[in-house]
Structure 1
Amino acid sequence: MGTSQEYFADQSVATQQSTPTDDKTAPGSATIRVPRHVALVMDGNGRWAAQRNRPRTHGHMAGQEIVFETIDAALSLGVSYLTVYVFSTENWRRTEKEVTTILTLVEDFLREREQDFLTRGVRVRWRGRAQGLPDSLVSALRHIEEATAGCDRLVYTMCVNHGGLAEIADAAREISQRVHDGELDPDRVGESTLADILTRTLPPWTCSSGPAANSACRTSCCGTTPTPNWSSPPPCGPTSGNAPCGKP
């Protein structure tokens, strides 16, 4: 188990404090405990749009805009790692139009926001499978990783085309191949063997470049403004479905 210092950082943030002699607010500061690594599962955008009699694709467009607001909020609070689960392997079951919209939005987001990432010092990382994704999107994901490799204020990991069972199957396949090729003794296969592979391929609840996510949120489970349990959270408006956890 990690220490509290590994997973949280004490940050001094601006607050608004009223004075007894003035009805205006005076700036002050307060120390809050900010998680070092926050993970968000984007969920409920389609339902948010449906509640407003708009097409599901409208919800995805609105949710994409919220992502950068969340990045800015993470930067202002001093979060070191932000992981967002954008598109899972299960999402391929949606309509072709919806899938195309989501993937196009991700690609446009990367190309349009590259300079913003660089200016803010945000390093972008990608976790997920290239198989099945449009070549142009894979190219954009790999390009943004290379372009922002020197940034160090925040590590923003995008999980695109990820899936727990799929990555475990991939890891098992790799272990089998290495055993077959004589590179790995089957008697020495253990938890660490699997962990080494998964930290390279699995979207990081535990990330090889940082601590385990100690604050996580599936946005559709958090009410009208779904946010992690941290002080002064970013507004996530459109990324809200007001639906029970696990509801598609």
Structure 2
Amino acid sequence: MSSTTGAAVSSASPASTASNAHLPVHVAIIMDGNGRWAAARGLPRVAGHRAGAEAVSRCLRAAKAKGVEYLTLYAFSSENWRREPTEVADLTSLLKYYLRHKVAELHKEGVRIRFVGDLGRFGPDLVAELERAEALTAGNAQLTLLLALSYGGRGDIVHAARALAEAVQRGDIALSAIDETALSARLLTAGVPDPDVIVRTSGEHRLSNFLLWQSAYAELVFLDTLWPDFDEASFTRVLDIYARRERRFGARPA
């Protein structure tokens, strides 16, 4: 894995269009900085989350326009449950609003929606809405949007390991047949290619328990931009950075 050389890259840099030959199939983003964006403006944290939701819309438009096939957004981590109950309630209300008002629009645009994480923690009513959104958009192929909700990378690996253990116990798979492919097939992201590039906004330089198994060979890009300020130019900048990387997957240079 590699990261941006030197200082974090600002999305304000001049951007050109990455060629299709170097276009990532799967872009994953840790959306960070909503709280700091709001604090800098003297606004409540929920205002930052609302502005961040608008940045999601811009990001989706950019991904579709550029031809990216998969976009995964880290919307709510398993650790976020430790936040103040009022903030968790604000985030949940915002999620409900967008499920009720935006899913139909995404469906018309050909976006397939998938949710990954410990969704049961949100309660049966919200889970039912998540399932309806997945069912409505299941046949779409323009872009697959994965929203990581109540998600943790370690928990994902534990989930897959438990599924493997149960399969061995049932006699469905031999212990000797367990390999990386078998485990990958039991991750919450099964059927989705691993991310080619993982982006984190707000100047932080860590994965924070996001797609730990899947990120083994992902390129890492860290931006100073706070998530609510992320726009189409920011997305294009990420693609340009990725296009300049040489991905060798552990092999020696030619």
Question: TM-score, length-normalised on structure 1?
Answer: 0.72
Determine helix, strand or coil for the equivalent of 1:151.
Answer: coil
Residue in structure 1 matched with residue 136 of structure 2 by the alignment = 147
Determine helix, strand or coil for the equivalent of 2:183.
Answer: helix
Cα gap change, 1:215 to 1:171, in 2 (>3 Å):
closer
Counterpart check, 1:230 vs 2:239: yes
Residue in structure 2 matched with residue 20 of structure 1 by the alignment = none
Residue in structure 2 matched with residue 212 of structure 1 by the alignment = 194
Determine helix, strand or coil for the equivalent of 1:220.
Answer: coil
Cα gap change, 1:57 to 1:178, in 2 (>3 Å):
same
Structure with greater strand share of residues: 1
Residue in structure 2 matched with residue 118 of structure 1 by the alignment = 107
Counterpart check, 1:107 vs 2:99: no
Residue in structure 1 matched with residue 124 of structure 2 by the alignment = 135
Cα gap change, 1:179 to 1:80, in 2 (>3 Å):
closer
8 Å CA contact 2:120–2:127 kept in 1: the answer is no
TM superposition shift of 1:161: 1.2
C-alpha root-mean-square deviation of aligned residues, in Å?
Answer: 2.3
Residue in structure 2 matched with residue 62 of structure 1 by the alignment = 51
Cα gap change, 1:80 to 1:183, in 2 (>3 Å):
closer
The code of the aligned residue for 1:216 comes to I
TM superposition shift of 1:129: 1.5
Structure 1 residue runs of 5 or longer lacking an equivalent are 1-28, 232-248
Task: Work out the CA distance in 2 between the residues paired with 1:187 and 1:74.
Answer: 41
Residue in structure 1 matched with residue 244 of structure 2 by the alignment = none
Task: Work out the CA distance in 2 between the residues paired with 1:148 and 1:75.
Answer: 16
Matches within 5 A, 1:1-248: 32-33=19-20, 34-198=23-187, 201=188, 204=189, 208-209=191-192, 211-221=193-203, 222-224=223-225, 225-226=229-230, 227-228=234-235, 229-231=238-240
The code of the aligned residue for 1:106 comes to L
8 Å CA contact 2:160–2:184 kept in 1: the answer is no
Deviations 1:19-57 (A, max 9, x none): xxxxxxxxxx97734322211111111111112121111
TM superposition shift of 1:175: 2.4
TM superposition shift of 1:124: 0.9
8 Å CA contact 2:29–2:72 kept in 1: the answer is yes
Structure 2 residue runs of 5 or longer lacking an equivalent are 1-15, 204-222, 241-254
Task: Work out the CA distance in 1 between the residues paired with 2:51 and 2:17.
Answer: 32
Choose 1 or 2 for highest CA Rg: 1
Question: TM-score, length-normalised on structure 2?
Answer: 0.70
Aligned residues: percent identity? 37
